[in-house]
Amino acid sequence: MQSAYSHYIMDQVFDFFQYPENYDRIIINAALEKLECSEGRMIFGNTEFYSHFQCNKDIVLGFFLANVPLMLDSGNNMEYVLTPKLEKLKKDTHDLINLGKFNELATLDLYLLLEMAMRCAYSKWLGSRIVISKYGMKDIVLNDYDYRRLKLYIRLNRLGRTNIDVNGEPFPGSENSLLNWATKFMDRPTSLMFRLSLNVRNLLAHGENEWDLYPVSRSVEIASSAAGKLLHEIQPGMKVNEKSNTFNHGSKNTGTKTHRVYRNGNRP
């Protein structure tokens, strides 16, 4: 790619990127080397995706931001069984891209697929029995809660947003902390794919889009593979690997506590 395009894309990305790691620039630079826009053709690797572009730096940026999974593909793609919700979202995203009229909405759905995958993965990790621990409080035991219901339970019962352990690990109650939790199970390119995609999704969801976006179906397939791989590798209660990270889950509580069990999460 022309160096002017590469410098422009890097400047734009790191102007809004909230979740960067030290190695991200190296990975993005390597991806941009495979992206070409010339004579009206948009080519990544050996594949031509568009043949009617008037190439300029903003169009190339729009293609990059709408196809982060394609740009940051680690190349280890397999077809995994997705949950019904993820499968439906995958189909809907393909349909929107094929219509060619709702690129912003298609990009939003594409990155929502990755966000939902993290929620599904955490729900799977929880298993059927959930123990909520917090210093100074007797443990609470719940059964058959997913991430959404557990997060709502913690909020409605005013247990606080920090210093809460769930099944012995700090509870990722925010998007940042859930992202931090999920990326511990990923290689570096996949971690960057999730982090940058969710950042773009947040901008789109809040009406902050400043670009013309050009998503392609290949990105949906790669995102689906990354989502499926995360779900495939997570097992209930498996140990979360510790590593230095940009985000902080919060402190981890220790010690033996008495358990209180509530049916369906109802507290007296």
Asked if residue 58 lies in contact with residue 212, where contact means CB atoms within 8 angstroms, the answer is yes
The residues of the chain scoring below 70 in pLDDT are 1-3, 51, 241-268
- Measured CA to CA, the distance from residue 84 to residue 94 in angstroms comes to 15
pLDDT at 248: 29
Does residue 106 lie in a domain region? no
- Measured CA to CA, the distance from residue 3 to residue 216 in angstroms comes to 24
pLDDT at 1: 62
Least Cα distance to 209 among 60, 96, 107, 93 occurs for 107
pLDDT at 100: 86
Does residue 236 lie in a domain region? no
Does residue 159 lie in a domain region? yes
Q: Could you tell me the pTM of the whole model? A: 0.85
- Measured CA to CA, the distance from residue 35 to residue 267 in angstroms comes to 56
Does residue 228 lie in a domain region? no
pLDDT at 51: 66
Cα–Cα distance list, 75 to 69, 78, 82, 216, 221 (Å): 11, 9, 19, 17, 12
The residue segments making up the domain with residue 170 are: 127-174+259-265
Does residue 46 lie in a domain region? no
- Measured CA to CA, the distance from residue 258 to residue 268 in angstroms comes to 17
pLDDT at 3: 67
Say how many domains are in the chain: 1
Task: Determine the distance from the C-alpha atom of residue 145 to the mean position of all C-alpha atoms in its chain, rounded to a whole number.
Answer: 21
Does residue 44 lie in a domain region? no
SS (H, E, C) the chain: CCHHHHHHHHHHHHHHCCCCCCCHHHHHHHHHCCEEEECCEEEECCEEEECCCCCCHHHHHHHHHHCHHHHCCCCCCCCCCCCHHHHHHHHHHHHHHHHCCCHHHHHHHHHHHHHHHHHHHHHHHHCCEEEEEECCEEEEEEECCCHHHHHHHHHHCCCCCCCCEECCEECCCCHHHHHHHHHCCCCHHHHHHHHHHHHHHHHHHCCCCCCCCCCCHHHHHHHHHHHHHHHHHCCCCCCCCCCCCCCCCCCCCCCCCCEEECHHHCCC
Does residue 158 lie in a domain region? yes
pLDDT at 166: 95
pLDDT at 249: 26
- Beta-carbon contacts of 212 under 8 Å, excluding residues fewer than 6 positions away, are 58, 59, 62, 103
Asked if residue 241 lies in contact with residue 185, where contact means CB atoms within 8 angstroms, the answer is yes
pLDDT at 2: 64
Does residue 2 lie in a domain region? no
- In the sheet that holds 47-50, the strands lie side by side as 35-38, 41-44, 47-50
Task: Tell the residue number behind the tokens 């709702």, with chain if given.
Answer: 102
Question: Letter for the amino acid at 146?
Answer: D
The CB density around residue 33, as the number of other CB atoms within 10 Å, is 10
